[in-house]
Amino acid sequence: MERMEDCRFVAEKVKNVPPSGIRRFFDLVSDNEEIISLGVGEPDYVSPWHIREACIHSLEHGETSYTSNSGLIELREEISRNYTRRQDLYYNPESEILVTSGVSEALDLAIRSIVDIGDEVIVTEPTYVAYIPSIVLAGGKAVPVPTTREDDFRVKAEEIEKRITARTKAIIINYPNNPTGAIMPRDELETIAKVAEKHDLVVITDEVYERLTYTGKHCSIAALDGMRERTIVLNGFSKAYSMTGFRLGYILAPEPLLNAMMRIHQYTMLCAPVTAQVGGIEALRNGESEVQAMVNEYNRRRRLIVKGFNNIGLDCFNPGGAFYAFPSIAATGLTSEQFAQRLLEEQKVVTIPGDVFGKAGTGFLRCAYAASREDIKEALERIEAFLNRL
């Protein structure tokens, strides 16, 4: 078969998008009973029943039409109330909230609405895999800024500032972070906010793991003094409510920015799936106790896996959020890629090599602990056996 890169019909800007490292790894994994996967970036819970039940009910009652472009008003009102309760920050449901098909769409809208050809966007590395391709597709240039284990994978304001040019338009931050599990306390966010203000940058903050914060309380950069007018908050239902397949997210932003994103959304997506929106209303109204129970269980697994890695001799950063552990495998002398591939072949455990998330991830592995405790324990035993045979 002809490669996409050689096909004369395919646009250059698509050819310029680097292939996904995760995708490559996916192709190595066969559907095998014996495999334990720590490679899955989504909850292992089925969506809570009350949410599914509300969706079934709405389908039975014929709610199958388009909604308004910005999403059902009841949903936007719940989002607004819910966000105010958590962050002490008000967004007007009529004019400052847009319901999207997941944070994925929200991210694309945020970038496309602010990036002109040649504009630069700063992304922290290790980075969620969609940021750089989204920037490239919008005609922009992604400028990575590394974060390190020594700094708890928190981005340093001076590292950002070093990379700012006349073309820098925005910074994307993502705390709690995929793939490191890092979180960012308020005082360190302040330093980033100062840089953004000084250089008049937009901050896109992907807070999809917000509810999965285990140490301290999540703080949104939008809540800091003077930041609301230049911040685009992305959030969604995938992780907190275990609703990945529903495809439901939202954007909070000041009106001019929201209108710009709306301009794109109304023509490219029209509206988010109505059934998902009904599920979202139910989730926000009655989902709190199930969220708490899931967060408690993730927290136990987090302790189990971090302790487990350190016990078998893999230095593991203590992640404050999300559901990823990011142990260092540098001491083994293998590259992340070699380690992950051999671990899969020899012990049938799926992990994701850290460099898939950028150069700063070299020497690390992403291990999702959204897996049962039994699977986590078994995976740790197999990894130990693998290490012993190196």
Partner 1 sequence: MDSKTRDILEILENNARATPEEISALVDMPSKEVEDSIRHLEKVGIIRRYKTVIDWELAGEDYVYAIIELKVSLERRQGYDAIAERLYKFPEVRSVRLLSGEHDIVLTIRGKTMKQVAFFVAEKIATLEQVQSTSTHFVLKTYKEDGLILEEPEHAKRLPVSP
The binding site for ligand PLP (CB under 6 A) comprises 41, 102-104, 128, 174, 178, 206, 208, 236, 238, 244, 249
Binding of partner 1 at residue 45 (CB under 8 A)? yes
Is 20 among the residues that bind partner 1 (CB under 8 A)?
Answer: yes
373 binding partner 1? (CB under 8 A): yes
Q: Which residues contact 173 (CB under 8 A, 6 or more apart)?
A: 124, 155, 184, 192, 203, 204, 205, 206, 221
Give the whole-angstrom CA distance, residue 72 versus residue 94. 10
User: Among residues 39 and 93, whose Cβ is nearest to partner 1?
Assistant: 39
Tell me the CA distances in angstroms from 145 to 18, 119, 357, 358, one per residue in order.
18, 16, 12, 10
328, interface contact from partner 1, ligand PLP, none, CB < 5-8 Å by kind: none
HSE-up (13 A, CA, CB side) for residue 35: 16
Cβ distance to ligand PLP smaller for residue 272 or 383: 272
Considering the complex, what minimum distance in angstroms separates the CB of residue 336 from partner 1?
A: 15
The residue (of 176 and 380) whose beta carbon lies closer to ligand PLP is 176
Between 71 and 383, whose beta carbon lies closer to ligand PLP?
A: 71
CB of 29 to partner 1, least distance (A): 5
Please identify which residue in the block is written with the tokens 């809540």: 223
Residue ranges with strand state E in the chain: 36-37, 97-100, 120-125, 141-146, 168-173, 202-206, 231-236, 249-252, 324-325, 349-350, 352-353, 365-368
Verify binding: residue 41, partner 1, rule CB under 8 A: yes
CB of 138 to partner 1, least distance (A): 19
User: Two tokens at 186?
Assistant: 């308020």
What span, in angstroms and rounded, lies between the C-alpha atoms of 54 and 65? 16
Which of residues 130 and 334 has its CB atom nearest to ligand PLP in the complex? 130
Choose the one of partner 1, ligand PLP, none that binds residue 174, judging by a C-beta under 5 to 8 angstroms depending on kind: ligand PLP
**Residue 35 in the binding site for partner 1 (CB under 8 A):** yes
> How many Å apart are CA 283 and CA 74, to the nearest integer?
12
Q: Which two tokens stand for residue 160?
A: 């950002």
Give residues 213-242 in contact with partner 1 (rule: CB under 8 A): 242
Distances, alpha carbon 152 to alpha carbons 33, 126, 196, 368, in Å: 36, 12, 21, 18
Contact letters for partner 1, residues 293-322 (x by CB under 8 A):
---x---xx-xx--xx--------------
Binding site for partner 1 (CB under 8 A): 20, 22, 25-26, 29, 31, 35, 37, 39-46, 128-130, 178, 242, 296, 300-301, 303-304, 307-308, 350, 352, 373
